[in-house]
């Protein structure tokens, strides 16, 4: 099924063409980056844990009627996904103020955001993913007004599903980033939902359980990724030694 053609290599994943029309191969690599690629490393097993958690969440969303690009697992760090025409937006749902929200705006770290706040950035590394608003998104003709509404409503539904699930595991969903794409005009969740794209705090201790551990040298990244992956999936992930 694997065709050698590399279509795209991002900071932590590689996309290959497959022999099956409409299907792509998404490989989660062990590379880890932060600050627009300013900090880089490799962590053995990281791709496997992110792949496992993404798979778990994609299945959960599908079971709730939320369409995603997930099709099947190929190996512990590789998925078969539906080919989408990707929308160059990063949809960030925030339940608690942290990260760039606190850096750039007068929010207090840990401030509860109720209702949740959606922030949409342009996915454009060369411009450092600038924040957009609805008018700019429509003026740039990235999506239609109806599509934008679908994207936001879907992001909020996903937030409710993930927040509730994670809270039962003792994990607070602070914020997370989604990417969407289109297949035959249907909007679907693409990319990944993993420790690289979520901000997770231990509900009792407030400890970071996500890429902030790497960004800010808060501890052992791999122990954190493995522990949280096992906690989320109930031990379903393959252990990487």
Among 26, 190, 196, 213, binds ligand 5GP (CB under 6 A): 196
Residue (22 or 110) nearer to ligand 5GP, CB: 110
- Long-range contacts for 208-216 (Cβ within 8 Å, ≥24 apart)? 209/171, 211/32, 211/34, 212/99, 214/32, 214/34, 214/39, 214/41, 214/43, 215/34, 215/35, 215/39
Helices (H) and strands (E) in the chain, counts: 6, 15
Among 176, 180, 214, 225, binds ligand 5GP (CB under 6 A): 176
Q: Which residue has its beta carbon closest to ligand 5GP? A: 99
Pair of tokens at residue 141: 């003709």
User: Is 175 in contact with 200 (CB distance < 8 Å)?
Assistant: no
Q: Does 90 bind ligand 5GP (CB under 6 A)?
A: yes
First to last CA, the chain: 28
Size of the residue set binding ligand 5GP (CB under 6 A): 14
Q: Does 82 bind ligand 5GP (CB under 6 A)?
A: no
Burial class (CB in 10 A: 0-12, 13-18, 19+), 66: middle
Among 55, 197, 224, 231, binds ligand 5GP (CB under 6 A): 197
Q: Kindly state the smallest distance separating residue 112's Cβ from ligand 5GP, in Å.
A: 16
Q: Does 13 bind ligand 5GP (CB under 6 A)?
A: no
Q: Does 99 bind ligand 5GP (CB under 6 A)?
A: yes
Pair of tokens at residue 201: 């705090």
- Cis peptide preceding 131, ω within 30 of 0: no
Q: Does 179 bind ligand 5GP (CB under 6 A)?
A: no
Q: Kindly state the smallest distance separating residue 97's Cβ from ligand 5GP, in Å.
A: 9
Q: Does 27 bind ligand 5GP (CB under 6 A)?
A: no
Binding site for ligand 5GP (CB under 6 A): 90, 92, 99-101, 129, 175-177, 196-199, 211
């Amino acid at each position: 099924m694997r065709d050698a053609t590399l279509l795209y290599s991002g900071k932590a994943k590689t996309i290959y063409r497959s022999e099956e029309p409409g299907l792509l191969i998404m490989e989660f690599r062990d590379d880890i980056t932060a600050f627009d690629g300013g900090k880089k490393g490799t962590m053995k097993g990281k791709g496997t844990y992110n792949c496992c958690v993404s798979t778990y969440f994609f299945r959960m969303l599908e079971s709730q009627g939320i369409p995603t690009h997930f099709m099947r697992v190929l190996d512990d760090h590789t998925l078969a996904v539906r080919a989408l025409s990707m929308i160059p937006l990063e949809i960030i749902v925030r339940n608690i103020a942290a990260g760039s929200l606190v850096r750039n705006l007068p929010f207090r770290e840990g401030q509860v955001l109720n209702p949740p706040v959606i922030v949409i950035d342009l996915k454009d590394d060369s411009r450092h993913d600038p924040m957009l608003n609805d008018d700019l998104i429509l003026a740039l003709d990235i999506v239609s007004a109806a599509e934008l509404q679908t994207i936001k409503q879907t992001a909020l539904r996903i937030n409710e599903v993930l927040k509730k699930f994670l809270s039962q595991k003792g994990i607070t969903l602070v914020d997370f980033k989604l990417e969407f794409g289109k297949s035959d005009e249907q909007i679907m969740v693409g990319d990944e939902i993993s420790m690289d794209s979520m901000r997770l705090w231990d509900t009792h201790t407030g400890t970071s359980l996500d890429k902030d551990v790497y960004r800010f040298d808060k501890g052992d990244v791999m122990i954190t990724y493995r522990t949280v992956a096992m906690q989320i999936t109930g031990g379903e992930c393959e252990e990487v030694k």
